[in-house]
């Protein structure tokens, strides 16, 4: 059975989130949380929070065991970008683009 959790409008760019996501793709959910706990990237906290939410959905809503769950699909998609104004020399305009992302985690039950 597939269980999903989505975190929307995170303040982290999808490119930076994908660096963290690629480390935990396909792993057991509890093992992935242990790995993310010691990663220094800011995206690791957001990804860990989403995986914990998906695990809680699996145990509370569907009565599944947390030990049997693994990450079958995890993606970081583009979210809306904010344009930030910075002014440069000689009256020029230097736009900064602040990117955000949507993180989706799909857990599945591993049966032996």
Check residue 111 and give its pLDDT: 81
The domain of 53 spans: 3-109
- Identify which of 30, 31, 24 has the alpha carbon closest to the alpha carbon of residue 103: 24
Based on C-alpha coordinates, what's the Rg of the chain? 17
Quote the number of domains for the chain: 1
Q: What is the CATH number of the domain that holds 66?
A: 3.90.470.10
Q: How far apart are CA 57 and CA 69, in angstroms?
A: 11
Tokens of 92: 């020029």
The low-confidence residues of the chain, meaning pLDDT below 50, are none
Q: How far apart are CA 13 and CA 93, in angstroms?
A: 23
Check residue 28 and give its pLDDT: 96
pTM confidence score: 0.91
**What would the 3-class secondary structure string for the chain be?**
CCEEEEEEEECCCHHHHHHHHHHHCCCEHHHHHHHHHCCCCCHHHHHHHHHHHHHHHHHHHHCCCHHHEEEEEEEEEECCCEEEEEECHHHCEEEEEECCEEEEEEEEECCC
Check residue 52 and give its pLDDT: 97
């Amino acid at each position: 059975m597939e269980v999903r959790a989505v975190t929307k409008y995170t303040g982290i760019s999808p490119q930076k989130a994908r660096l963290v996501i690629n480390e935990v793709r396909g792993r057991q959910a509890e093992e992935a949380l242990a790995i993310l706990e010691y990663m220094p990237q800011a995206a690791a906290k957001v990804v860990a929070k989403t995986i914990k939410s998906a695990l809680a959905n699996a145990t509370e809503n569907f009565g599944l065991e947390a030990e049997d769950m693994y990450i079958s699909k995890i993606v970081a998609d583009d979210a809306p970008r904010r344009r930030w104004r910075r002014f440069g020399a000689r009256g020029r305009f230097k736009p900064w683009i602040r990117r955000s992302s949507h993180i989706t985690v799909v857990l599945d039950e591993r049966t032996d």
